[in-house]
Chains A and B, each alone.
Chain A
Amino acid sequence: MPFLLLFLATIVFSSCRKEPARNLTVSESWVYISSGQNGVNYAGFQTIAIPDSVILISNRQGNNYETNSLAQSMIAEIKSTMQARGFTLTAKSNNPDLGISIARVDNSYTNVAVFNGWWDPTWGYWDPTFWGYPGFGWAPTQFVFYNTTESAWAIDIIDLKNTSGNSLRILWSGTIRGEQIFNSQAIPSIVKGLFDIAPYISKN
């Protein structure tokens, strides 16, 4: 009797929990990561080249280049941000000081889980006696497939001015993660959010 009461109380009250993932608005779910080399003087750069397509990194659709309206919104937003920061846009062939690479990461993983526990009834099956095996149980055969997705924007600034040696230097890497980041309407806010934490990327 006391065990039953404790058990019931535990069940009833443990559902009483504030779930963090469900308590976030879309804009609160956005995470910006800014990773840059220390001591880079961006005032020393003038021209910047931004390609007209976005690199797609996806294990679902295969790696590719995108020029759809979402890609165009992102490119346009980055261009206007760089111009506002004092840089001059130029073509790739015009010896730019900096290059910007924009990638969209869209991976999806399928995972399998097997349920083995006593709480998992094999409902919807004939009892093994029906099949001529009285006293038999069921071997665990319940599989569940679930998907996890990895979505992010990855933006890199490449040094095209100081190219000694035979490798290009990435001066800065920015990542945007969160809900609805592939929604065109979110693009201005998320680009602003990312570059707000890297105010040093500026000619001004």
Chain B
Amino acid sequence: MKRAILIFIITAVTKIIFAQQGLSKISIQQSTNLPVGSLKSFVEKTSFRGFSASYQYFINNQLSVGFTGGYSDFYQKKDRQTYIVGETEVSAVKSHSLQIVPFMLTAGYSKVKEGSLFQPYANLGAGASFVNYEEWYGTLVDDAGGVKLSISPEIGTRIAFNKYSLAGMDLSVRYNFTAFKYNDVKNLQTVSFNLGIFFFARN
């Protein structure tokens, strides 16, 4: 009987570490964003000015639901060029600026093997993003934006600091799609590499 209780206690303790049900996970990551598709013609360069923050609640050992917010900023200054609009020529130094602030509901799946530091996962986020699009000719701006639909699948892995830790590194790759059309930009597509930390909190 005593042995059974001992085994039960040990199992319960380790179960707390490795079972995810009843836990919430908070994750904050720095995002490196690469523009893809028609967005590349607007801003070409990879941006390191971005972050992602998410909250996930585990409804059982594999499935979680929650929400994600974030921010990314793209900027590019072009050399002086002459642009032709009908019978008018405009010579200007153009600057392109874009900010995307997503806020999405996410659902996630992650299968954890006991005793492993690596905890891979796959998420799908759907929601919307605040978009601010600016096309500058010198100091004259043409801007557009608004709240646009966004969808964002993600795969990644958590790397716990050690076997018993409820915190660790969180790295993931995400594809982001936002339905925003203006001028030459047909949709906003980016691929982001996110690196940060996570920690579990008991509910």
| Chain A positions near chain B (C-beta within 8 angstroms) | 1-2, 5-6, 9-10, 13-14, 16-21, 23-24, 28-38, 177-179, 193-194, 196-198
A18 and B49 contacting across the interface, CB-CB below 8 Å = yes
Q: Which residues of B contact A194 (CB under 8 A)?
A: 91
A33-B49 in contact given A6-B55, A14-B71, A18-B73 (Cβ < 8 Å): no
B138 touches A5 (CB 8 A): no
Chain B residues touching A, range? 35 or more
The one of B49, B138, B201 that contacts A31, using a Cβ cutoff of 8 Å: B138
Q: B89 near A: Cβ within 8 Å?
A: yes
Given known A10-B71, A23-B77, A30-B138, contact A16–B91 (CB-CB < 8 A): no
Residue from B51, B75, B93, B140 whose CB has the most chain A CB atoms within 10 Å: B93
- B92 interface residue per 8 A CB criterion: yes
CB <8 Å contact, A197 and B91: yes
Which of the candidate stretches B3-11, B80-88, B104-112, B176-184 sits at the interface with the other chain? B80-88
The total number of A-B Cβ pairs within 8 Å is 103
Cβ A2 vs Cβ B139 within 8 A: no
Q: Enumerate chain B interface residues (CB-CB to A < 8 A).
A: 24, 26, 28, 49-51, 53, 55, 69, 71, 73, 75, 77, 80, 82, 87-93, 95-97, 99, 101, 134, 136-141, 201
- B66 to chain A minimum Cβ distance, whole angstroms, is 9
Docked-complex contact B136 and A2, CB < 8 angstroms: no
> Which residues from A are CB-within-8-Å of B140?
31, 177
- Cβ distance B148 to chain A, nearest Cβ, rounded Å: 18
